[in-house]
């Protein structure tokens, strides 16, 4: 850590921001995503006509509960960033719905786009290009509140307060320019900027992926602190399974534009249901002999999202694939509550026609005592 950064975050009594408006009550999921779809047209040929569609996000359903961190994992190109942009309404979806605290976003009677844009903020991987190189960081943080009508002086006061909250001494950092900061410091500034509008939901897309491991751990600690302190909810996107395990309460696994598994973090990591999740976890590097798994690691590249395989999209890489897997697309199953653990695989559905249908639950190892996800002290 740079000596000029504050080592401890300021006491809770220093909070000046108003508590978020919990319109739907604690039981109402903060975000409900229904059948969300985004296909990008591919143009080509002499006439530059549409010759295909990249099925980046293809009928995705899930909920995010108030106060939780939902981790989203999957290989590069599976649609994580497109999903994040759809949630933020930075790109328009083709089909589907996003419901925020019980209200449809941008609809006549729902939450307005302006209000939604205040309530949901995003932190990207590329910490440098997210900041204006010509603005002192204090001004970058104050920019959003000023645009939303806050008095300039008050916005700058808040910017300085937030700098303290993200562990950067305002008297040393407020007037610095982005090029004078390290990668970790820039990402702290981006987090402060995201918090400036008092959001309820932060979408973090590979937000720590570009940082050194030691800095990454500090920023993860900071995110956990800020979540409690500001009563936030996170959607945390990463290709790094360890980081997702470390920070998430629940995990959603994506493959080729679809959700293949979702459930509580401990269950997903100790007892994954989907062959893709099992293969992903088997591909993790580990120097601990106790972590050795019998599962084959993931091999080959994902298929082309312009022409995904019929039926189950994972079938071309799945060691358990059978005829039914090419004929019918498996469904995720019925959601009950936050503890529901679901996988879109024919082996999970009794009577699906797969020879192992209904037998996988018996074969799966139960989570061993002591293998729970290692958490930072809260
Ligand atoms: N603007 C775009 N135009 C065409 N294809 C896109 C666009 N953005 C993303 N894609 C494609 O959509 C798929 C999902 O990409 P992305 O959401 O960035 O995945 P991830 O974040 O998981 O790496 C990829 O095949 C990618 O090439
Ligand atoms: S549905 Fe079939 S191909 Fe797909 S993951 Fe399950 S067993 Fe493998
Ligand atoms: Mg991405």
- Shared domain check, 240 and 280: no
The mean of the pLDDT values for the chain is 87
* 247 close to 236: Cβ distance less than 8 angstroms: yes
Looking at residue 23, what is its pLDDT?
76
Both 192 and 170 in a single domain?
yes
Q: Indicate the residue among 209, 227, 248 that finishes a domain.
A: 248
**Quick one: residue 376, left, alpha or beta (phi over 0 = left, psi -120 to 50 = alpha)?**
beta
Tally Cβ neighbours within 10 Å of residue 221: 16
Q: Which long-range contacts (CB under 8 A, 24 or more apart) does 303-309 make?
A: 303/256, 305/54, 305/55, 305/56, 305/77, 305/79, 305/256, 305/257, 306/42, 306/52, 306/53, 306/54, 306/55, 307/52, 308/55, 308/58, 308/256, 308/257
Residue 178 lies in a domain: yes
- Pocket residues: Cβ below 6 A from ligand 2: 274-275, 312, 314-315, 318, 320-321, 325, 330, 345-347, 354
Higher pLDDT, 18 or 330: 330
Return the residue whose CA atom lies nearest to atom 8 of ligand 1. Answer: 82
Do 181 and 85 fall within a single domain? yes
**Which ligand 1 atom is nearest residue 254's CA?**
22
Tell me the pLDDT band of 119, cut-offs 50, 70 and 90: very high
Between 43-57, 69-83, 104-118, 278-292, the lowest mean confidence (pLDDT) is in: 278-292
| Strands laid side by side in the 49-64 sheet | 49-64, 31-44, 95-100, 103-104
Query: Is 376 inside a domain boundary?
Result: no
110-114 long-range contacts, CB within 8 A, separation 24+: 113/89
The CATH number of whichever domain residue 51 belongs to comes to 3.40.50.300
Is residue 4 situated within a structural domain? no
* Predicted pLDDT of residue 47: 84
What is the Cα–Cα distance from 139 to 146, expressed in whole angstroms? 10
pLDDT tens per residue across span 236-280? 999 999 999 999 999 999 999 999 999 999 999 999 999 999 999
Do 169 and 300 share a domain, yes or no? no
In a domain, 15, yes or no: no
> CA 80 from chain center: how many Å?
8
Residue 358 confidence (pLDDT)? 79
For the ranges 9-13, 39-43, 57-61, which has the lowest average pLDDT?
A: 9-13
Query: What is the percent of the chain where pLDDT is above 90?
Result: 69
| Token pair recorded at residue 354 | 């797969």
Task: Identify whether the C-beta of residue 182 lies closer than 8 Å to the C-beta of residue 216.
Answer: no
Substitution site in 38, 40, 51 for ligand 1 pocket (most atoms within 8 Å of beta carbon): 40
| Shared domain check, 231 and 319 | no
Top pLDDT among 375 and 279 is at 279
Q: Which ligand is nearest to the CA of 276?
A: 2
Does one domain contain both 55 and 76? yes
Lowest mean pLDDT among 190-194, 285-289, 337-341, 354-358: 285-289
| Domain boundary, last residue among 199, 214, 248 | 248
Choice between 108 and 368, residue whose per-residue pLDDT is larger: 108
Q: By residue range, what is the domain housing residue 63? A: 31-248
Q: Which residue, chain included where needed, has tokens 């290692």?
A: 374
Nearest-ligand number for the alpha carbon of 73: 1
Do 132 and 276 sit in the same domain of this protein? no
Percent of the chain with pLDDT over 70: 86
Both 222 and 203 in one domain: the answer is yes
Residues 274 and 239 in one domain: no
List Cα–Cα distances, 2 to 135, 169, 185, 215, 267, in angstroms. 22, 11, 9, 10, 38
Please give the tally of structural domains in the chain: 2
Q: For residue 114, what pLDDT is reported?
A: 87
Residue 352 lies in a domain: yes
**132-147 average pLDDT score:** 94
Task: Give yes or no: residues 260 and 178 share one domain.
Answer: no
Residue 217 has pLDDT above 60, yes or no: yes
pTM greater than 0.75: yes
Predicted local distance difference test score (pLDDT) of residue 362: 63
Query: 17 to each of 113, 145, 155, 161, how far by Cα in Å?
Result: 22, 12, 12, 10
State the Cα angle at 246 between 11 and 290, rounded to 5°: 140
Helix (H) or strand (E) holding 134: none
Report the pLDDT averaged over residues 332-351: 90
As given in the structure block, the two tokens for residue 2 are 């740079």
Q: Where does the pLDDT of residue 338 fall: very low under 50, low under 70, confident under 90, or very high at 90 and above?
A: confident
Inside any domain, residue 338: yes
Which atom of ligand 2 approaches the CA of 313 most closely? 4
Give the closest residue (by CA) to ligand 1 atom 10. 56
Residues in the chain, how many?
378
Q: End-to-end CA distance of the chain: give it in Å, rounded.
A: 21
Is 143 inside any structural domain? yes
Q: What residues flank ligand 1, with Cβ below 6 Å? A: 40, 54, 56, 74, 76-82, 305
- Kindly report the number of other CB atoms within 10 A of residue 366's CB atom: 9
Q: Do both 154 and 277 map to the same domain?
A: no
Residue-wise DSSP of 50-102: EEEEEEEEEEEEEEE-TT-EEEEE--TTSSHHHHHHHHTTSS--SEEEEEETT
Q: What is the DSSP string of 332-360?
A: -----STT--EE--GGGSTTSS-TTTTTH
Query: What pLDDT shows up at residue 307?
Result: 93
Residue 11 located in a structural domain: no
CA–CA gap between residue 144 and residue 192 (Å, rounded): 11
Range ranked top by mean pLDDT from 22-31, 109-118, 188-197, 332-341 = 188-197
82 and 169: one domain? yes
Q: Which of 248, 280, 300 is the last residue of a domain?
A: 248
Can you read off the two tokens belonging to residue 352? 């699906």
| pLDDT range class, residue 111, cuts 50, 70, 90 | confident
């Amino acid at each position: 850590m740079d000596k000029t950064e504050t080592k401890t975050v300021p006491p809770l009594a220093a909070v000046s921001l108003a508590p978020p408006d919990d319109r739907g009550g604690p039981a109402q999921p903060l975000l409900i995503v229904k059948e969300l779809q985004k296909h990008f047209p591919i143009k080509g040929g002499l006439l530059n006509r549409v010759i295909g569609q990249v099925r980046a996000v293809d009928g995705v359903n899930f909920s995010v509960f108030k106060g939780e961190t939902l981790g989203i994992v999957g290989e590069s190109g599976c649609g994580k960033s497109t999903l994040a942009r759809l949630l933020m309404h930075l790109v328009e979806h083709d089909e589907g719905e996003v419901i925020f605290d019980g209200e449809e976003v941008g609809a006549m009677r729902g939450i307005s786009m302006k209000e939604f844009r205040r309530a949901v903020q995003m932190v990207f991987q590329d910490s440098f290009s997210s900041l204006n190189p010509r603005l002192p960081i204090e001004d970058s943080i104050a920019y959003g509140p000023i645009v939303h009508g806050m008095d300039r002086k008050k916005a700058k006061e808040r910017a300085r307060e937030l700098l303290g909250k993200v562990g950067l001494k305002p008297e040393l950092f407020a007037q610095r320019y982005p090029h004078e900061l390290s990668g970790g410091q820039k990402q702290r500034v981006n987090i402060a900027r995201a918090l400036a509008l008092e959001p309820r939901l932060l979408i973090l897309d590979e937000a720590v992926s570009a940082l050194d491991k030691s800095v990454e751990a500090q920023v993860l600690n900071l995110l956990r602190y800020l979540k409690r302190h500001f009563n936030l909810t996170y959607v945390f996107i990463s290709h790094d399974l360890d980081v997702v395990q470390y920070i998430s309460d629940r995990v959603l696994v994506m493959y080729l534009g679809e959700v293949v598994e979702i459930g509580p973090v401990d269950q997903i990591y100790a007892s994954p249901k989907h062959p893709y999740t099992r293969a992903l976890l088997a591909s993790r590097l580990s120097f601990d002999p106790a972590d050795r798994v019998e599962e084959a690691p993931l091999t080959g590249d994902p298929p082309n999202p312009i022409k995904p395989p019929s039926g189950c999209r994972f079938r071309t890489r799945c060691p358990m694939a059978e005829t039914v897997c090419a004929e019918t697309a498996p469904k995720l199953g019925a959601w009950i509550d936050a503890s529901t653990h679901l996988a879109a695989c024919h082996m999970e559905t009794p009577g699906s026609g797969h020879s192992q249908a209904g037998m996988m639950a018996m074969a799966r190892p139960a989570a061993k005592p002591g293998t729970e996800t290692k958490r930072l002290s809260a």
